Amino acid sequence: MKQLHIVLFPSMAHGHMIPMLEMAKLFTSRGLKATIIATPSFAAPITKAQNSGLDVGLVVTPFPPQGSSLPQSIVAFDQMTSPDITSSFLRAMELLQEPVEAILKELRPDCLISDMFLPWTADSAAKFRIPRLAFYGTSYFSRCVSEQFELHKPFNNVTSDSEPFLVPGLPHKITLLRSQISPFFLNESSNDFGKLFKQMNEAWKKTYGEVVNSFNELESAYANHYKNVIGRKAWEIGPLLLYNSSNGGDKNHQRGKESAIDEHKCLAWLDSKRPNTVVYVCAGSVATFSQTQLCETAMGLEASGQNFIWVVRKNKEDDEDWLPQGFEERVRNRGLIIRGWAPQVMILNHAAVGAFVTHCGWNSTLEGVCAGVPMVTWPVFAEQFFNEKLVTEVLGTGVSVGNKRWILRESEGVERDAVARAVEEAMVGGGAEEMRRRAENYKEMAKKAVEEGGSSYNSLNALIEELSNYVAPTKQDTN
Protein backbone atom coordinates (compact mmCIF):
# COMPACT_ATOMS: atom_id res chain seq x y z
CA MET A 1 0.00 0.00 0.00
CA LYS A 2 1.23 3.49 -0.86
CA GLN A 3 2.41 5.63 2.07
CA LEU A 4 -0.19 8.29 2.85
CA HIS A 5 1.06 11.86 3.13
CA ILE A 6 -0.89 14.09 5.54
CA VAL A 7 -0.38 17.86 5.64
CA LEU A 8 -1.38 19.57 8.90
CA PHE A 9 -2.04 23.30 9.14
CA PRO A 10 -2.58 24.73 12.64
CA SER A 11 -3.52 28.35 13.32
CA MET A 12 -1.30 30.78 15.15
CA ALA A 13 -1.73 29.88 18.81
CA HIS A 14 0.24 27.56 21.10
CA GLY A 15 -2.95 25.80 22.16
CA HIS A 16 -3.63 24.96 18.50
CA MET A 17 -0.05 24.13 17.48
CA ILE A 18 0.72 21.75 20.36
CA PRO A 19 -1.95 19.09 19.62
CA MET A 20 -1.29 19.36 15.86
CA LEU A 21 2.39 18.56 16.40
CA GLU A 22 1.41 15.61 18.59
CA MET A 23 -0.98 14.49 15.86
CA ALA A 24 1.84 14.60 13.33
CA LYS A 25 3.96 12.46 15.69
CA LEU A 26 1.10 9.99 15.96
CA PHE A 27 0.74 9.69 12.17
CA THR A 28 4.47 9.08 11.66
CA SER A 29 4.44 6.44 14.42
CA ARG A 30 1.84 4.58 12.34
CA GLY A 31 3.86 4.68 9.12
CA LEU A 32 2.32 7.76 7.52
CA LYS A 33 4.23 10.76 6.21
CA ALA A 34 3.34 14.03 7.95
CA THR A 35 4.22 17.64 7.09
CA ILE A 36 3.24 20.70 9.11
CA ILE A 37 2.71 24.11 7.54
CA ALA A 38 3.70 26.71 10.15
CA THR A 39 4.35 30.42 10.42
CA PRO A 40 7.86 31.49 11.54
CA SER A 41 6.86 32.19 15.16
CA PHE A 42 5.47 28.66 15.57
CA ALA A 43 8.15 26.68 13.74
CA ALA A 44 10.50 26.25 16.74
CA PRO A 45 8.69 23.31 18.45
CA ILE A 46 8.67 21.40 15.14
CA THR A 47 12.36 22.10 14.50
CA LYS A 48 13.10 20.97 18.06
CA ALA A 49 11.15 17.74 17.47
CA GLN A 50 13.02 17.19 14.18
CA ASN A 51 16.37 17.70 15.95
CA SER A 52 15.44 15.03 18.48
CA GLY A 53 14.89 12.55 15.66
CA LEU A 54 11.24 13.01 14.76
CA ASP A 55 10.50 12.40 11.10
CA VAL A 56 7.98 15.21 10.57
CA GLY A 57 8.25 17.61 7.63
CA LEU A 58 8.04 21.38 8.05
CA VAL A 59 7.19 24.11 5.53
CA VAL A 60 7.30 27.67 6.83
CA THR A 61 5.10 30.36 5.31
CA PRO A 62 5.51 34.06 6.25
CA PHE A 63 3.00 35.68 8.63
CA PRO A 64 1.76 38.35 8.38
CA PRO A 65 1.63 37.46 4.67
CA GLN A 66 2.30 39.77 1.76
CA GLY A 67 -0.45 42.35 1.25
CA SER A 68 -1.56 42.26 4.89
CA SER A 69 -2.22 45.44 6.90
CA LEU A 70 -1.28 43.62 10.11
CA PRO A 71 1.81 45.04 11.90
CA GLN A 72 4.82 42.72 11.48
CA SER A 73 5.06 42.29 15.25
CA ILE A 74 1.57 40.72 15.52
CA VAL A 75 2.03 37.00 14.92
CA ALA A 76 -0.18 35.10 17.40
CA PHE A 77 -3.79 34.86 18.60
CA ASP A 78 -3.02 36.19 22.06
CA GLN A 79 -1.93 39.50 20.50
CA MET A 80 -5.44 40.24 19.22
CA THR A 81 -6.08 42.88 21.86
CA SER A 82 -8.29 45.34 19.94
CA PRO A 83 -11.09 45.09 17.32
CA ASP A 84 -8.84 46.67 14.68
CA ILE A 85 -6.03 44.19 15.27
CA THR A 86 -8.53 41.29 15.32
CA SER A 87 -9.98 42.41 12.01
CA SER A 88 -6.53 42.69 10.38
CA PHE A 89 -5.42 39.38 11.90
CA LEU A 90 -8.38 37.44 10.53
CA ARG A 91 -7.91 39.05 7.12
CA ALA A 92 -4.21 38.13 7.22
CA MET A 93 -5.20 34.51 7.87
CA GLU A 94 -7.35 34.59 4.73
CA LEU A 95 -4.38 35.93 2.74
CA LEU A 96 -2.50 32.71 3.53
CA GLN A 97 -4.66 30.89 0.98
CA GLU A 98 -2.44 31.60 -2.02
CA PRO A 99 0.91 30.66 -0.41
CA VAL A 100 -0.64 27.56 1.17
CA GLU A 101 -2.07 26.42 -2.15
CA ALA A 102 1.39 26.83 -3.70
CA ILE A 103 2.71 24.52 -0.94
CA LEU A 104 -0.05 21.96 -1.58
CA LYS A 105 0.69 22.07 -5.31
CA GLU A 106 4.30 21.20 -4.60
CA LEU A 107 3.70 18.55 -1.91
CA ARG A 108 0.65 16.84 -3.48
CA PRO A 109 -0.48 15.27 -0.17
CA ASP A 110 -3.31 12.74 0.26
CA CYS A 111 -5.13 14.71 2.93
CA LEU A 112 -5.18 18.18 4.53
CA ILE A 113 -5.94 18.51 8.24
CA SER A 114 -6.60 22.15 9.00
CA ASP A 115 -7.50 24.25 11.99
CA MET A 116 -11.14 25.31 12.30
CA PHE A 117 -10.13 28.98 12.00
CA LEU A 118 -8.91 28.41 8.41
CA PRO A 119 -12.22 27.62 6.66
CA TRP A 120 -10.92 28.55 3.19
CA THR A 121 -8.78 25.40 3.33
CA ALA A 122 -11.95 23.47 2.36
CA ASP A 123 -11.78 25.13 -1.06
CA SER A 124 -8.03 24.61 -1.26
CA ALA A 125 -8.37 20.88 -0.57
CA ALA A 126 -11.12 20.62 -3.20
CA LYS A 127 -8.84 22.27 -5.78
CA PHE A 128 -6.32 19.47 -5.27
CA ARG A 129 -9.06 16.80 -5.05
CA ILE A 130 -8.00 15.71 -1.57
CA PRO A 131 -10.14 15.36 1.57
CA ARG A 132 -10.03 18.11 4.18
CA LEU A 133 -10.35 17.06 7.82
CA ALA A 134 -11.19 19.85 10.27
CA PHE A 135 -9.57 20.10 13.70
CA TYR A 136 -11.53 22.08 16.30
CA GLY A 137 -9.22 21.18 19.17
CA THR A 138 -12.03 20.60 21.64
CA SER A 139 -14.33 17.94 23.11
CA TYR A 140 -17.23 16.11 21.47
CA PHE A 141 -19.36 17.56 24.26
CA SER A 142 -18.61 21.16 23.31
CA ARG A 143 -19.06 20.37 19.60
CA CYS A 144 -22.53 18.98 20.40
CA VAL A 145 -23.46 22.07 22.45
CA SER A 146 -22.24 24.37 19.64
CA GLU A 147 -24.33 22.47 17.09
CA GLN A 148 -27.47 22.76 19.26
CA PHE A 149 -26.76 26.49 19.59
CA GLU A 150 -26.54 26.83 15.81
CA LEU A 151 -29.75 24.88 15.27
CA HIS A 152 -32.01 26.08 18.08
CA LYS A 153 -30.49 29.28 19.55
CA PRO A 154 -31.92 28.35 22.98
CA PHE A 155 -30.36 31.45 24.58
CA ASN A 156 -33.01 33.51 22.78
CA ASN A 157 -35.65 31.97 25.06
CA VAL A 158 -34.50 33.86 28.17
CA THR A 159 -34.94 37.52 28.98
CA SER A 160 -32.02 38.05 31.37
CA ASP A 161 -28.39 36.96 31.72
CA SER A 162 -29.08 35.37 35.11
CA GLU A 163 -31.91 33.10 33.93
CA PRO A 164 -30.66 29.60 33.04
CA PHE A 165 -31.73 28.03 29.75
CA LEU A 166 -31.71 24.36 28.76
CA VAL A 167 -29.54 23.21 25.86
CA PRO A 168 -32.02 20.99 23.97
CA GLY A 169 -31.47 17.57 22.52
CA LEU A 170 -28.40 16.45 24.50
CA PRO A 171 -27.90 13.12 26.33
CA HIS A 172 -27.78 15.01 29.68
CA LYS A 173 -29.81 17.91 31.05
CA ILE A 174 -27.40 20.83 30.57
CA THR A 175 -28.25 24.43 31.45
CA LEU A 176 -26.21 27.57 30.82
CA LEU A 177 -26.55 31.34 31.25
CA ARG A 178 -26.52 33.92 28.45
CA SER A 179 -23.62 35.65 30.23
CA GLN A 180 -21.53 32.46 29.76
CA ILE A 181 -22.03 32.40 26.00
CA SER A 182 -19.62 33.79 23.44
CA PRO A 183 -20.83 37.08 21.92
CA PHE A 184 -20.08 35.46 18.54
CA PHE A 185 -23.09 33.20 19.08
CA LEU A 186 -25.30 35.99 20.37
CA ASN A 187 -24.56 38.59 17.64
CA GLU A 188 -23.39 36.48 14.76
CA SER A 189 -23.07 39.03 12.02
CA SER A 190 -21.99 42.09 14.00
CA ASN A 191 -18.36 41.15 14.57
CA ASP A 192 -15.41 39.65 12.73
CA PHE A 193 -15.40 36.40 14.67
CA GLY A 194 -19.14 36.05 14.05
CA LYS A 195 -18.47 36.23 10.31
CA LEU A 196 -15.64 33.73 10.67
CA PHE A 197 -17.95 31.27 12.46
CA LYS A 198 -20.40 31.59 9.56
CA GLN A 199 -17.59 30.77 7.12
CA MET A 200 -16.60 27.79 9.29
CA ASN A 201 -20.15 26.43 9.07
CA GLU A 202 -20.16 26.90 5.30
CA ALA A 203 -16.78 25.18 5.02
CA TRP A 204 -18.13 22.13 6.84
CA LYS A 205 -20.35 21.35 3.83
CA LYS A 206 -17.17 20.82 1.76
CA THR A 207 -15.25 19.09 4.56
CA TYR A 208 -14.76 15.33 4.62
CA GLY A 209 -14.82 14.94 8.40
CA GLU A 210 -13.24 15.85 11.69
CA VAL A 211 -10.43 14.57 13.89
CA VAL A 212 -11.15 14.92 17.60
CA ASN A 213 -8.61 15.07 20.42
CA SER A 214 -10.63 12.89 22.79
CA PHE A 215 -11.31 9.22 23.51
CA ASN A 216 -14.54 7.28 23.42
CA GLU A 217 -14.59 6.20 27.07
CA LEU A 218 -14.42 9.82 28.25
CA GLU A 219 -17.55 11.04 26.47
CA SER A 220 -19.07 8.11 24.59
CA ALA A 221 -22.62 9.53 24.78
CA TYR A 222 -21.43 12.69 23.01
CA ALA A 223 -19.19 10.94 20.47
CA ASN A 224 -22.22 8.86 19.57
CA HIS A 225 -24.56 11.88 19.55
CA TYR A 226 -22.20 13.90 17.33
CA LYS A 227 -21.71 11.13 14.79
CA ASN A 228 -25.10 9.40 14.78
CA VAL A 229 -27.64 12.05 15.80
CA ILE A 230 -26.09 15.27 14.47
CA GLY A 231 -24.63 13.19 11.64
CA ARG A 232 -21.05 14.44 11.51
CA LYS A 233 -18.23 12.25 10.30
CA ALA A 234 -15.57 12.21 13.02
CA TRP A 235 -12.73 10.12 14.44
CA GLU A 236 -11.50 10.41 18.03
CA ILE A 237 -7.74 9.78 18.14
CA GLY A 238 -6.71 11.19 21.53
CA PRO A 239 -5.58 12.07 24.07
CA LEU A 240 -2.83 13.26 21.73
CA LEU A 241 -0.55 14.25 24.62
CA LEU A 242 -0.13 10.55 25.47
CA TYR A 243 1.71 9.93 22.18
CA ASN A 244 4.86 11.73 23.26
CA SER A 245 6.83 8.57 23.93
CA SER A 246 6.61 4.94 22.97
CA ASN A 247 5.33 3.94 26.41
CA GLY A 248 2.17 6.00 25.98
CA GLY A 249 3.37 9.40 27.12
CA ASP A 250 6.32 10.98 28.84
CA LYS A 251 5.05 12.55 32.02
CA ASN A 252 7.88 15.06 32.14
CA HIS A 253 7.81 16.18 28.51
CA GLN A 254 7.63 19.85 27.68
CA ARG A 255 4.46 21.05 25.92
CA GLY A 256 4.79 24.54 24.51
CA LYS A 257 7.30 27.22 25.50
CA GLU A 258 10.29 26.85 27.78
CA SER A 259 9.43 26.97 31.48
CA ALA A 260 9.84 30.17 33.46
CA ILE A 261 11.07 28.12 36.44
CA ASP A 262 13.90 25.62 36.79
CA GLU A 263 12.17 22.24 36.63
CA HIS A 264 14.47 20.70 39.27
CA LYS A 265 13.59 23.51 41.68
CA CYS A 266 9.90 22.92 40.96
CA LEU A 267 10.28 19.15 41.48
CA ALA A 268 12.20 19.62 44.72
CA TRP A 269 9.41 21.85 46.03
CA LEU A 270 6.77 19.24 45.08
CA ASP A 271 8.87 16.40 46.54
CA SER A 272 8.76 18.17 49.89
CA LYS A 273 4.93 17.89 50.05
CA ARG A 274 2.80 14.88 50.96
CA PRO A 275 0.62 13.16 48.28
CA ASN A 276 -2.56 15.01 47.23
CA THR A 277 -1.79 18.12 49.31
CA VAL A 278 -0.97 20.67 46.56
CA VAL A 279 -3.47 22.49 44.35
CA TYR A 280 -2.09 23.58 40.97
CA VAL A 281 -3.57 26.83 39.59
CA CYS A 282 -3.16 27.86 35.93
CA ALA A 283 -5.40 29.72 33.47
CA GLY A 284 -3.66 28.83 30.20
CA SER A 285 -1.79 30.92 27.68
CA VAL A 286 -4.39 33.44 26.47
CA ALA A 287 -6.78 34.55 29.24
CA THR A 288 -5.83 37.54 31.37
CA PHE A 289 -7.22 38.62 34.76
CA SER A 290 -7.65 42.10 36.20
CA GLN A 291 -5.41 43.12 39.09
CA THR A 292 -8.47 43.04 41.37
CA GLN A 293 -9.13 39.42 40.37
CA LEU A 294 -5.49 38.40 40.88
CA CYS A 295 -5.64 39.90 44.38
CA GLU A 296 -8.92 38.06 45.16
CA THR A 297 -7.38 34.81 43.87
CA ALA A 298 -4.33 35.27 46.09
CA MET A 299 -6.52 35.90 49.17
CA GLY A 300 -8.70 32.90 48.29
CA LEU A 301 -5.70 30.58 47.97
CA GLU A 302 -4.36 31.84 51.27
CA ALA A 303 -7.73 31.39 52.99
CA SER A 304 -8.10 27.83 51.64
CA GLY A 305 -5.24 26.70 53.87
CA GLN A 306 -3.95 24.44 51.05
CA ASN A 307 -0.46 24.21 49.55
CA PHE A 308 -0.45 25.65 46.04
CA ILE A 309 1.52 26.27 42.86
CA TRP A 310 0.09 29.31 41.08
CA VAL A 311 1.04 30.15 37.50
CA VAL A 312 0.48 33.84 36.76
CA ARG A 313 0.70 35.20 33.26
CA LYS A 314 2.36 38.60 33.44
CA ASN A 315 0.09 41.33 32.14
CA LYS A 316 2.60 44.10 32.59
CA GLU A 317 6.32 43.74 32.99
CA ASP A 318 7.39 43.68 36.66
CA ASP A 319 4.04 45.00 37.90
CA GLU A 320 3.48 43.34 41.27
CA ASP A 321 0.85 45.75 42.66
CA TRP A 322 -1.80 43.04 42.50
CA LEU A 323 -0.21 40.94 45.25
CA PRO A 324 -1.75 41.60 48.68
CA GLN A 325 0.75 43.18 51.07
CA GLY A 326 2.91 40.57 52.79
CA PHE A 327 1.26 37.72 50.83
CA GLU A 328 4.42 35.99 49.60
CA GLU A 329 5.95 36.12 53.06
CA ARG A 330 2.81 34.66 54.69
CA VAL A 331 2.53 31.73 52.24
CA ARG A 332 6.28 31.22 51.85
CA ASN A 333 6.27 27.58 53.02
CA ARG A 334 3.12 26.46 51.23
CA GLY A 335 2.87 28.55 48.07
CA LEU A 336 4.97 28.70 44.91
CA ILE A 337 4.26 31.42 42.32
CA ILE A 338 5.50 30.86 38.76
CA ARG A 339 5.45 33.97 36.55
CA GLY A 340 5.26 32.82 32.94
CA TRP A 341 5.13 29.36 31.35
CA ALA A 342 5.13 26.30 33.68
CA PRO A 343 6.04 22.62 33.13
CA GLN A 344 2.34 21.78 33.51
CA VAL A 345 2.34 18.10 32.53
CA MET A 346 5.17 17.36 34.94
CA ILE A 347 3.47 19.21 37.79
CA LEU A 348 0.05 17.62 37.25
CA ASN A 349 1.55 14.13 37.23
CA HIS A 350 3.41 14.62 40.52
CA ALA A 351 1.98 12.63 43.43
CA ALA A 352 1.81 15.78 45.60
CA VAL A 353 -0.79 17.42 43.33
CA GLY A 354 -4.34 16.78 44.52
CA ALA A 355 -6.38 19.18 42.34
CA PHE A 356 -6.08 21.47 39.32
CA VAL A 357 -7.68 24.93 39.12
CA THR A 358 -8.13 25.28 35.36
CA HIS A 359 -9.69 27.64 32.80
CA CYS A 360 -11.08 24.53 31.06
CA GLY A 361 -9.27 25.02 27.77
CA TRP A 362 -9.43 21.58 26.17
CA ASN A 363 -5.64 20.96 26.16
CA SER A 364 -5.45 21.69 29.89
CA THR A 365 -8.63 19.73 30.64
CA LEU A 366 -7.16 16.67 28.91
CA GLU A 367 -3.89 17.12 30.79
CA GLY A 368 -5.91 17.03 34.01
CA VAL A 369 -7.79 13.93 32.82
CA CYS A 370 -4.55 12.14 31.86
CA ALA A 371 -3.00 13.00 35.23
CA GLY A 372 -6.07 11.70 37.07
CA VAL A 373 -6.63 14.82 39.17
CA PRO A 374 -9.95 16.44 40.18
CA MET A 375 -10.46 19.92 38.76
CA VAL A 376 -11.68 23.26 40.05
CA THR A 377 -13.26 24.73 36.93
CA TRP A 378 -12.82 28.43 36.18
CA PRO A 379 -13.83 28.98 32.55
CA VAL A 380 -13.18 32.41 31.04
CA PHE A 381 -13.99 32.48 27.31
CA ALA A 382 -14.19 30.41 24.07
CA GLU A 383 -15.94 27.06 24.67
CA GLN A 384 -14.54 26.75 28.19
CA PHE A 385 -17.96 27.05 29.89
CA PHE A 386 -19.07 23.99 27.88
CA ASN A 387 -16.03 21.98 28.97
CA GLU A 388 -16.76 22.98 32.57
CA LYS A 389 -20.18 21.30 32.32
CA LEU A 390 -18.55 18.14 30.96
CA VAL A 391 -16.13 17.99 33.91
CA THR A 392 -18.52 18.93 36.71
CA GLU A 393 -21.85 17.46 35.56
CA VAL A 394 -21.08 14.61 33.14
CA LEU A 395 -17.76 13.20 34.39
CA GLY A 396 -18.22 14.20 38.03
CA THR A 397 -14.52 14.97 38.42
CA GLY A 398 -14.67 18.65 39.27
CA VAL A 399 -16.25 21.52 41.16
CA SER A 400 -17.04 24.97 39.72
CA VAL A 401 -15.54 28.15 41.12
CA GLY A 402 -18.73 29.87 39.98
CA ASN A 403 -17.64 32.23 37.20
CA LYS A 404 -20.70 33.36 35.28
CA ARG A 405 -19.23 35.81 32.80
CA TRP A 406 -17.61 35.17 29.39
CA ILE A 407 -14.84 37.75 28.95
CA LEU A 408 -11.58 37.47 27.04
CA ARG A 409 -9.50 40.23 28.59
CA GLU A 410 -9.07 41.33 32.21
CA SER A 411 -11.54 38.77 33.54
CA GLU A 412 -12.88 39.36 37.04
CA GLY A 413 -15.87 38.74 39.29
CA VAL A 414 -14.88 35.64 41.31
CA GLU A 415 -14.47 36.57 44.99
CA ARG A 416 -11.91 35.16 47.41
CA ASP A 417 -14.54 33.19 49.36
CA ALA A 418 -15.60 31.36 46.17
CA VAL A 419 -11.95 30.52 45.38
CA ALA A 420 -11.32 29.22 48.92
CA ARG A 421 -14.58 27.21 48.98
CA ALA A 422 -13.98 25.50 45.60
CA VAL A 423 -10.33 24.67 46.40
CA GLU A 424 -11.25 23.20 49.80
CA GLU A 425 -14.12 21.22 48.26
CA ALA A 426 -11.85 19.63 45.62
CA MET A 427 -8.98 18.95 48.03
CA VAL A 428 -10.56 17.95 51.33
CA GLY A 429 -14.36 18.22 50.98
CA GLY A 430 -16.82 15.38 51.53
CA GLY A 431 -16.89 14.51 47.81
CA ALA A 432 -13.14 14.88 47.21
CA GLU A 433 -12.31 11.17 47.55
CA GLU A 434 -15.04 10.13 45.11
CA MET A 435 -13.92 12.79 42.61
CA ARG A 436 -10.35 11.53 42.94
CA ARG A 437 -11.46 7.93 42.40
CA ARG A 438 -13.40 8.86 39.26
CA ALA A 439 -10.52 11.01 37.94
CA GLU A 440 -8.09 8.12 38.46
CA ASN A 441 -10.45 5.85 36.56
CA TYR A 442 -10.54 8.17 33.51
CA LYS A 443 -6.74 8.38 33.62
CA GLU A 444 -6.53 4.59 33.27
CA MET A 445 -9.09 4.60 30.43
CA ALA A 446 -7.12 7.31 28.60
CA LYS A 447 -3.95 5.17 28.71
CA LYS A 448 -5.79 2.10 27.41
CA ALA A 449 -7.48 4.09 24.61
CA VAL A 450 -4.17 4.92 22.90
CA GLU A 451 -2.59 1.48 23.32
CA GLU A 452 -2.71 -1.12 20.56
CA GLY A 453 -6.29 -2.39 20.35
CA GLY A 454 -7.63 0.60 22.35
CA SER A 455 -10.56 2.71 21.17
CA SER A 456 -8.48 5.63 19.82
CA TYR A 457 -5.94 3.26 18.28
CA ASN A 458 -8.73 1.48 16.40
CA SER A 459 -10.40 4.76 15.44
CA LEU A 460 -7.15 5.90 13.83
CA ASN A 461 -6.92 2.57 11.98
CA ALA A 462 -10.39 3.21 10.57
CA LEU A 463 -9.42 6.74 9.51
CA ILE A 464 -6.21 5.55 7.80
CA GLU A 465 -8.15 2.86 5.94
CA GLU A 466 -10.75 5.37 4.79
CA LEU A 467 -8.11 7.83 3.57
CA SER A 468 -6.31 5.00 1.76
CA ASN A 469 -9.50 4.19 -0.14
CA TYR A 470 -10.52 7.80 -0.76
CA VAL A 471 -11.78 8.63 -4.22
CA ALA A 472 -12.29 12.31 -5.03
CA PRO A 473 -15.88 13.18 -5.97
CA THR A 474 -16.54 13.72 -9.65
CA LYS A 475 -17.98 17.01 -10.90
CA GLN A 476 -21.53 15.51 -10.84
CA ASP A 477 -21.09 14.42 -7.18
CA THR A 478 -20.27 17.92 -6.08
CA ASN A 479 -23.35 19.58 -7.62
Which positions are annotated as active-site residues?
16, 115
Best CA proximity match to 90, nearest among 113, 72, 64: 64
Is-contact 322 313, C-beta < 8 A? no
In this structure, what are the phi and psi dihedrals at residue 447, rounded to the nearest 5 degrees? -60, -45
- The amino acid sitting at 128 is F
Distance CA 24, CA 34 (A): 6
- The amino acid sitting at 341 is W
Is-contact 26 248, C-beta < 8 A? no
Cis ω for the linkage preceding 64 (within 30 of 0): yes
Provide the residue count of the chain. Answer: 479
Is-contact 266 347, C-beta < 8 A? yes
Neighbouring C-beta atoms of residue 83, cutoff 10 Å: 10
Distance CA 275, CA 353 (A): 7
Enumerate residues 6+ apart whose C-beta is below 8 A from 222: 139, 140, 141, 143, 144, 170, 171, 390, 394
- The amino acid sitting at 254 is Q
CA–CA distances in Å: residue 391 to residues 45, 137, 199, 251: 30, 17, 30, 22
- The amino acid sitting at 434 is E
Task: Determine whether 435 is exposed, middle or buried from the number of CB atoms within 10 Å of its CB (0-12, 13-18, 19+).
Answer: buried
Distance CA 419, CA 7 (A): 43
Distance CA 190, CA 183 (A): 9
Distance CA 301, CA 296 (A): 9
